[in-house]
Structure formats: structure tokens, C-alpha cells
Structure 1
Amino acid sequence: MTEKTTIRLNKYIASAGIASRRGADELVQKGKVKVNGELADSPGIQVDPDNDRVEVNGKLVQHDEKSKDLYILLHKTIETVTTAKDPQGRKTVLDLLPPDVINRRVFPVGRLDFYSEGMLLLTTDGELCNRMTHPKWHLPKIYHVTIRGKLSEKELSVMQNGMYLEDKGELLAPVKIKAISEVGETTKYEMELRQGINRQIRRMFGEFDKTILRLKRVRQGRIELGALKPGKWRELSAKELTLLKKDLKMK
């Protein structure tokens, strides 16, 4: 059974081009909005874009697919810049998307550096983007990191207990890290981060003179990259979006 996606009434009205969200709030407060024939008593009530009938000043509000926010899960490839445009002319994450999605003006949520790969969220929802990039709402991010050699028990302990980065004098919060496989002279680690420090993982391993061979983000919050191939994308499911907004305390 497919789970329905609902949105706030004020956002529904705003995304249909009737008014800004604040303007939509005022329309509701003035008794100008009805949902399924009933006077709306709050701009925060949830409506189903596919099934609910919303009227403003007696006129039906049309809410087509193009007015809905987009929530994209992309498997970013290496040597791709996490930005909409690059002054150096390098390939960007938008180059991995089709024109009809790009034309909806999606933008990346947070960053993955040039040589890192894995899951990246893109959206047209500014509120969700602001939440996900604000320190207060940082969701845990899981990475798989393959290095040449192996960390010592002491080095693992330093990471797990909060390490100090000498290059810029930053004290990091403790991270969860464990080895998950060893192949020849390489070791793959799984790391869970809850901070948004720039190039944090590369700098952490750099403190111990370890060379990272591959860095891949596989999960953020409860959203997983799964079997999505490099360079491919999909929209978040209704269930994934519901879980994401719940974790971000969004109504």
C-alpha cells in the first residue's frame, strides 16, 4: 500500500502561486480558505494534494505536479562538483540530472567533496534544506572509507573520543568508527558523523598520514543509498519523505 504525502495548507497555497506562505496564513485567518467545503481553521493543517479540494475566495486552487516540491536522491560520482554552476567549468551534480528536473530548479542539500561519492539529496524545498544544513538539525551521516593500510587501536580511540585537528585547531565531536573489511593492504571503515565540518573525514585520516582510496556516503538519517548506481537518481518515496520530515521535526 502506497503511503500518502501530505503538506501544510499554507505551503499548498503558496506553491500554487496564490500567495506567499505568510499571505496564505492571512487568507486562512480571514476565513477565505476552505478544504473539502469546510472553513480552514489553521494554516498548518495537512492536505493531500491528490485528493483534497482547496478553495481560496471561492475559487479552486489548482496544484499540479510541477508545483510540488521535488526530493531527489542522487548517487554522486567522483570528480563532480556539488553545486549548480562551476566557474572552472567542471562537471556538476546537476549534469547528472535530466533537463526536466533541472528546470524545476533543484539544488543540493549540503556537500560532498570533488573526490567523494555516494548519496546526495537535492530538492526545491528551501525549508527542508535549511533544516538539514543547520547545526541544530544535523542528521547522522554514514560513510564507507577505504584506506591504504590500517588504523592502530590508539588512532581508532582518538577518533572515537573526539580528536583535535591541528591544521585549523578544531576540536571534533566523537565519531563512531569500525573496520568492516580488509582486502590485501587496504581496510574499509564505516564511520558515523554528526557534525558538518568541511572535509572532516579526509582531514581526520590526514592527521595520521593515512591515504584515503575511496570515500562514499551511504546513509543520511534514515535515508539509504542502497543499490542506486553511480550517476543514477530517484525521487524519495512517500515513506522516506515522511521519515525525513519527522526526524527534522517538520510538520
Structure 2
Amino acid sequence: MSERLQKVIAKSGITSRRKAEKLIEEGKVKVNGKVITELGVKVTDSDQIEVNNIPIEKEKPVYFLFYKPRGVISSVSDDKDRKTVVDFFEEFEQRIFPVGRLDYDTSGLIIMTNDGDFMNVLLHPRYKMDKEYIVKTKGIPANEALKTFKKGIRSEGDILKAKQVKIMSVDKKKQTAIVKVILHQGKNRQIRRMFDAINCPVMKLRRERLAFLTLDGLQPGEYRELKPQEISDLKKLAQKIVK
């Protein structure tokens, strides 16, 4: 069975398919000792592939649902030597990386994998999967202010939108509120920027759900493997959304 070269590179876990395509075009990929610069080349299991003169290893793909704690970086490394999400997976030989990011001070659900192709399915802008967050705000947001979230708020050149927003509870004495927000977008610090814009800064933020996946049964710092059916359903959901 043959597959496109960029897909095989992405599956190895060293980079995403999009970056693999760029590496091919830059002449940094060899197949059986021959430099490949054109996209569309297909390879089989018997072909020897090198990226930057280093043979790729075909790792077994792994997929985890991780409850990221606050105070952890969503990256494979950190120049300030802070704890990263990868530090929780040191027992595994595969090169595992996070799909997307959660802010340092944000907790919640994040997918960890070594499958770059699968990562693209979840991150591509056209795959509009629900991302549900629970927000604790300083100050009680007015309903009219929250309605602007669905219309879109301009911030630093971006139009930030929420699919759904709902006040879950308020504490009038402490002047705080718990708000549920569902996004399709994934802009940098999006929810914090949206609440800053209505003068109700975020005190705590947690991602509770991605599509049909939830944090049920997990505590901060814990993870579980995704079930084969969950992986399949995520891919099918993405394809359904595109259609």
C-alpha cells in the first residue's frame, strides 16, 4: 500500500503534513537516496525516507486525552525551563506533542499525539469543532455585553467570535460570575481578550470539552488513551463538517 510522502512524514511524528510539504519543496527530503522536490510522490513501507539527512522512524501512533493543569506550558520545551505538557509523558518512547495550545494559566482538555496528520485534522480552521470553556470572571458581565461575543469583537486586528455564551451562576457579594463559552475559533488568548474587552477580566479558565470528548474521570495532570472509536469519530466529524 502506498501513501503520499508528506503524509508518511507527518505520521512519523516529526512535523505536520503542511510543514512536511514545505520541507519537500525545499529539497530537504530524500527517498531511497534521491532528493524529492515535488509534492504528490507516493511511497511504500519498503522505501527509505530521510528528512534533513536523518532517516525517519515509523512510530506507532498514540493518542491521549490530557487534563492540563494550570502553570504548565503547552509545548514540547520551554526556554525558561518551566514544566511542559510533554513532561507528563516521559515514559513513552514516541515523540508526543500537543495538538494546539492552552495558555500557561489555563487548565483543561488537550489532545497529545505523535500523529501530525491527525493533528492537522483537529487544527485546520475549516474543521469547526466545538471547544467548550468554563470561565470565572472578575465582575458580572451584562447580557448585552455577552451578546457582542456572538456578533464578534474586534481585538488586535482579529474578529473574535463565540458560537455560544451563557452565564451559569453569579456571586453578587464577591462580584464574580461563572460563564460557559463555546468557540469554533482558536485565536491566541481569545477568551481572555474577549472578556477584557467588556471589562470583566478572566480569573480562571478551563477547557471542558472538545467535540464529544470531556474531562470526565480525570484530575489535573492525568490522561487516558483515546479509544479507537473516538479517533475514528473525530475524523468522521471533521469530514462531515467540511461537507
**Match of 1:234?**
224
Which amino acid counterpart does residue 233 of structure 1 have in structure 2? Y
Query: Structure 2 residue aligned with 1:198, among 184, 188, 192?
Result: 188
* Length, aligned pairs only: 196
**Match of 1:79?**
71
TM-score (norm. length: structure 2): 0.73
Distance in 1 of aligned mates of 2:159 and 2:219? 35
How far 1:158 moved relative to its partner?
Answer: 0.8
Query: Structure 2 residue aligned with 1:169, among 157, 163, 179?
Result: 157
Which amino acid counterpart does residue 100 of structure 1 have in structure 2? E
Distance in 2 of aligned mates of 1:178 and 1:204? 14
Distance in 2 of aligned mates of 1:227 and 1:115? 22
Distance in 1 of aligned mates of 2:119 and 2:95? 13
How far 1:10 moved relative to its partner?
Answer: 4.8
How far 1:174 moved relative to its partner?
Answer: 4.3
**Match of 2:42?**
22
How far 1:181 moved relative to its partner?
Answer: 2.1
Secondary structure, aligned partner of 2:148? helix
- The answer on whether the counterparts of 1:81 and 1:90 sit within 8 Å (CA) in structure 2 is yes
Structure 1 residues 201, 154: closer, same or farther in 2, change over 3 A? same
Query: Structure 2 residue aligned with 1:108, among 95, 98, 104?
Result: 98
**Match of 1:96?**
88
Runs of at least 4 residues of structure 1 off by over 6 A?
none
Structure 1 residues 121, 10: closer, same or farther in 2, change over 3 A? farther
**Match of 1:141?**
131
Judge which range, 235-244 or 103-112, deviates more: 235-244
TM-score (norm. length: structure 1): 0.71
Structure 1 residues 23, 86: closer, same or farther in 2, change over 3 A? same
Question: Percent same amino acid at aligned positions?
Answer: 32
Structure 1 residues 169, 67: closer, same or farther in 2, change over 3 A? closer
How far 1:154 moved relative to its partner?
Answer: 1.6
Give the root-mean-square deviation of aligned CA atoms.
2.6
**Match of 1:154?**
144
**Match of 2:109?**
119
- The answer on whether the counterparts of 1:161 and 1:175 sit within 8 Å (CA) in structure 2 is no
Query: Structure 2 residue aligned with 1:219, among 209, 215, 219?
Result: 209
**Match of 2:177?**
187
Distance in 1 of aligned mates of 2:88 and 2:207? 17
From the CA coordinates, give the structure whose radius of gyration is larger. Answer: 1
Secondary structure, aligned partner of 1:206? helix
How far 1:26 moved relative to its partner?
Answer: 10
